[in-house]
Structure formats: structure tokens, C-alpha cells
Amino acid sequence: MQPIIMTTATAPRSLGERIQRRRRRLGILQSELARAIGYGPGAISRFERGHRVPKEVLPRLAAALQVDVGDLLADAAAIEPSREERELLRAYRALPDSGQAEIRSLMAAIAAGRVAR
């Protein structure tokens, strides 16, 4: 895969900006990229505007953009959490240690498939 090479002065700060920059460099229309990853025509526009990109889509998106997933996510610190994620984090931090431990345990059980979704 071809790495995304950028200088710090012009490096896109978000995943959406990195998707847009790479797509434009390749001369691909949003609708073409959406079709290549199996999504509808407005999906790429939403991703580029900062809407959440589903984790399972990242490998297809990276392949269509001819980069590694890691290159798309290279600046993970610049990827802002969603409002919902920030609210969940605030609520989690407000819990006592025992409550945080219960949440971590529940999340681990869900991720392992031990809890019905």
C-alpha cells in the first residue's frame, strides 16, 4: 500500500480530512468511492464531514484509497470523539471505582459475546 505522506503544516487533522485528501489525490469521486466500499452515494460525504466511520468499513475504505488502515488512522489523537462518546466518558468518570469496574466487566463480557445484545 502507498503511505499517505504529509508535512505537519498541511497534515489533515481528522479522519474525514484524510479520506477526502486521499480520494482527491486519486481523482476518485465520492460516489465512486462509496460504490467501491458498498455504501450509498452520500456516505463518503458524511465521513468526510466528520461523521463516524464504522470500524468494519475501514479496511474496505483503506483498500479503495490504496493505503493501509493505519495510514488513515495515523493521527488518532486528532480524531475527536463524538458527543455521545464524550457524554459516556463523563458519566463513566463520575462513577465510583466500583461502578467503573462493573462497566469494564460488562463491556468485556459484551465484547466476548457472553452477554446477549
Q: Which of 21, 20, 16 is nearest to 6 (CA)?
A: 21
Strand, coil or helix: 90:
helix
Q: Report the amino acid identity of residue 17.
A: E
Q: What is each CA distance from 11 to 34, 46, 112, 114, in whole angstroms?
A: 23, 20, 37, 41
pLDDT in tens, 23-78: 998 999 999 999 999 998 799 999 999 998 998 999 999 999 998 888 888 764 44
pLDDT at 117: 60
pLDDT at 9: 41
Average pLDDT over residues 91-110: 92
User: What helix, strand, coil percent values describe the chain, rounded to 5?
Assistant: 60, 0, 40
The answer to whether 23 and 65 have CB atoms below 8 angstroms apart is: yes
Considering the domain 15-73 in this protein, what is its CATH number?
Answer: 1.10.260.40
Q: Report the amino acid identity of residue 52.
A: R
Q: Report the amino acid identity of residue 29.
A: L
Residues recorded for the chain: 117
Q: Which three cell numbers stand for residue 64?
A: 479503495
Q: Which three cell numbers stand for residue 107?
A: 463491556
Task: Categorize the per-residue pLDDT at 5 as very low, low, confident or very high, splitting at 50, 70 and 90.
Answer: very low
pLDDT at 2: 46
Task: Categorize the per-residue pLDDT at 7 as very low, low, confident or very high, splitting at 50, 70 and 90.
Answer: very low
